[in-house]
Structure 1
Amino acid sequence: MPTLLPTASLKLALYLAAMGWHIVPLSPTSKRPLANCPRCHSTARPGSTHPIETCPCLPTGRWCHGVHAATTDPARLSTWWQRQPDAVPGVAAGPSGLVLLDLDAHDDPLPADPATGLLPGIDLTGDPALAELARIRTGLHTLTLLARVRGGPHPWPTTPEHQPVVTTTPSGGRHLWYRAPSANLRQALGKLGWQIDIKAGWNYGLAPGTTTSTGTYRLRSGDLASPGRLPEWLAHEVLRVTAPTPTQPRPSPTLRRERCYGAPAAYLTTVLTRGAAHLATLTDGRQRALSALAYHVGGLLAWSGLPEHQVSAHLITAGESSGLPTRLATRIVHRALLRGVRAPLPPPPMPVT
């Protein structure tokens, strides 16, 4: 039998925090972190980030810094919920030492090329599953297919050490919370499989037992005090799509002296960094600001020489850090970036060295 969870949001938040789950209060309707503190927004310099390490808001119970403020501190959680009683608890994956496999059950069409789109990075040409595509309707079906291709017939071994914390979502999907195989992971949307999103690092998911305006995320199975670790085959696949892109070796001192500070890649990196910092100060207009930034960056992308996937990931992270939900930030970035790429901007003046 699954654990009976407290029904009130604060009680649930305190219950999970006591087990090491880092909690962040979310809006019950938008399911995104509460907006940044207006006082911080009004005093922060444009283009700067209000540092969480010296933030005067958090110790006094005011809300600030989005998912980065997630905590297990019962006093802070109690103060937050006293100020915002209708908030619902979310879980910051990375600080909690967890990784979330979000298996959707949306009414989305299958990929145009199922052989390469169902399991990105794995060619299913000739696989029997392609003859029975009607059986694949949700992320759970996709994960079962991945399990067969990579790890055998069962996605979840029966041994307790591999059992995730499983919740059913209001839309009919499932959330699988595992212990993170690495502390240095990032989100991966659709990269593991069709209708499968991975939340890791500074990403969050609805806490087991949470009730939002759309319904309850009901605990189905698993040990909240000790979520299981990923089966070896699944850990390999998760690491394949969530591990950070290897950093490039730092250029030699001679090369740096020869390259002016306004070089295209450096210029666009500065635009990204400043834009992300500005987004973090906003309480209103975050979607519009993220779209404008992505469009501007897209217009300079070809000139800069930076990889599109790297720039896109940076922009999505900036949107998430400002409090936008992952799916919304991703949609905004992809659309605006593409529009910008299709309308290249003239290169800005470069300083003469």
Structure 2
Amino acid sequence: MLRYVPSFSRFSRSSWENALLTCIFSPAIEATHHPAVLKATISSTTPPPDPRTIAHWCAQAGWPVHPLAAGRKTPAGNCQTCATSGHRHTDCPCIRNGRWCHGFHAATTNPTLIDTWWSKHPALGVGVSCGPAGLIIIDIDAHHAPVPTRDRLWPGIAVNDAVDLTGLQNGFHTLAVLAALHGAPDPAHDENTLRVRTPSGGLHLWYQAGIGRQWLCSSGSSAGRALAWQVDVRSTGGYIVAPGITTTAGTYTPLGECRTPAPLPQWLVDELTRTGHLDEPASDPVPAPRKPPSRARQAVIDAGGGRDSAARTLETVLADVASCSTAPTGTGFSDKLNRAAYTAGGLVAAGLIDQHAAQEALLATAAYARPGQHQRALSIIRSGMTAGARQPLFPGGRP
């Protein structure tokens, strides 16, 4: 199920203009990101190591690997039985018996198994299963495609018609602009993390997912969950082509000297959380609602002036957030906090509660449910309240 993605329109026109000037009209960036230049760079590199060596290198880094079809970026095919039976990977004897059926579900770091697979089939490529590897890959595309409507460029971020988007062409631009809006450098130029140039002129940015975090995959062309147009996300439930692998389209070429994924930058953590990429499935059974902590209840009273309908509405959604304290994961915390913040934003816009007091109530409840995650909670609260403010909420109907 796709998560709710709030609108996010706090960037001023001048912020947009500065970001666009920095990221789109810079000759250096346009030259660096031009597909023809990228392909020329790739073709001039030395021959990459063989797939088995690459597979061992990945496994030694703690990244489970699985075979890709020779010359392609898709998983090697299942055995005939698996291809025709339609069973799930959890019921498959092949994986238990050391065969590679079911794609990234068969990924391993076992050196003996790696030797067996690639010594018998040396032409197979190498895929890395991102989730078990603790990785998140930001996959920047440079496809020649019509620019979509503004609401599809940066999902949840309102782009005023007065903002001139002339020159925006691909994922390099959308990601660079998103970074600039946060005051962060263009991650495509981040020499402190593993970067891999793709045969089509795109770029894979490899990052550590973070302890206890599971990120969901997405496509930058999706109408649902997405980070930015032509920017895909590969993590839990997905795989990525290993650095150095060659397909019929070309080689996935590491850039620079760094071969280690860096921690995910905080601004990307915030954006990925905002856009529903943080995986925290609801538990079964759902924990019973708990009362918000006393500090939050007092803030609710301060926000709404007592036990009126607005305060009761806010306290109800805060109770859902507080119920997440029953378990460290699997309670739908992000969704519940997002929903509570959206509700609070609507109540603030209706003039029924005070914005500062409402935010304090949300922060206090979030700290009660997830201690030590202030920055994450604050990011969700701010974006949720901003979105909710666009839809004034009158619990008892408009006065």
TM-score (norm 2): 0.54
Which deviations, in whole Å up to 9, do the C-alpha atoms of 1:220-268 show, x marking residues without a partner?
A: 03633x3101211111112333113652774799xxxxxxxxxxxxxxx
Q: In percent, how many aligned pairs have the same letter?
A: 38
Corresponding residue for 1:228? Answer: 262
Q: What is the CA-CA distance between 1:174 and the residue it aligns to?
A: 0.4
Query: Does 1:188 find its partner at 2:227?
Result: no
Find the partner of 1:197 among 232, 237, 260.
Answer: 232
Range 62-71 or range 199-208, more displaced? 62-71
Corresponding residue for 1:322? Answer: none
Q: Which secondary structure does the structure 1 equivalent of 2:187 belong to?
A: coil
Q: Distance in 1 between matches of 2:59 and 2:278?
A: 27
Q: What is the CA-CA distance between 1:10 and the residue it aligns to?
A: 0.8
Q: Distance in 1 between matches of 2:161 and 2:182?
A: 16
Q: Which secondary structure does the structure 1 equivalent of 2:132 belong to?
A: coil
Q: Which runs of 5+ in 2 are unaligned?
A: 1-44, 221-225, 289-399
Find the partner of 1:62 among 99, 105, 108.
Answer: 99
Corresponding residue for 1:164? Answer: 193
Q: What is the CA-CA distance between 1:34 and the residue it aligns to?
A: 1.4
Q: Which secondary structure does the structure 2 equivalent of 1:25 belong to?
A: strand
Corresponding residue for 1:278? Answer: none
| CA RMSD, 1 decimal | 2.9
Which deviations, in whole Å up to 9, do the C-alpha atoms of 1:288-336 show, x marking residues without a partner?
A: xxxxxxxxxxxxxxxxxxxxxxxxxxxxxxxxxxxxxxxxxxxxxxxxx
Corresponding residue for 1:175? Answer: 204
Q: Which amino acid aligns with 1:35?
A: G
Which deviations, in whole Å up to 9, do the C-alpha atoms of 1:163-195 show, x marking residues without a partner?
A: 221011111110000001353221021211010
Corresponding residue for 1:8? Answer: 50
Corresponding residue for 2:177? Answer: 145
Corresponding residue for 1:212? Answer: 247
Q: Distance in 1 between matches of 2:133 and 2:105?
A: 12
Q: Distance in 1 between matches of 2:138 and 2:287?
A: 41
Cα pair 2:100 2:107 within 8 Å, conserved: no
Q: Distance in 2 between matches of 1:5 and 1:14?
A: 18
Q: How does 1:1-353 map to 2 (within 5 A)?
A: 7-40=49-82, 48-51=87-90, 56-58=93-95, 60-111=97-148, 113-114=149-150, 116-125=151-160, 130-134=163-167, 136-155=168-187, 163-181=192-210, 182-190=212-220, 191-221=226-256, 223-224=258-259, 226-241=260-275, 242-244=277-279, 247=282, 250=285
Q: What is the CA-CA distance between 1:117 and the residue it aligns to?
A: 1.8
Q: Distance in 2 between matches of 1:6 and 1:77?
A: 18
Q: Distance in 1 between matches of 2:68 and 2:58?
A: 15
Q: Which runs of 5+ in 1 are unaligned?
A: 254-353
- Closer/same/farther in 2, CA of residues 252 and 12 from structure 1, 3 Å limit: closer
Q: Which amino acid aligns with 1:23?
A: V
- Closer/same/farther in 2, CA of residues 6 and 74 from structure 1, 3 Å limit: farther
Q: Distance in 2 between matches of 1:4 and 1:75?
A: 28
Q: What is the CA-CA distance between 1:49 and the residue it aligns to?
A: 2.7
Corresponding residue for 1:277? Answer: none
Q: Distance in 2 between matches of 1:14 and 1:105?
A: 30
Task: Report how many aligned residue pairs link the two structures.
Answer: 237
Cα pair 1:5 1:12 within 8 Å, conserved: no
Q: What is the CA-CA distance between 1:59 and the residue it aligns to?
A: 5.6
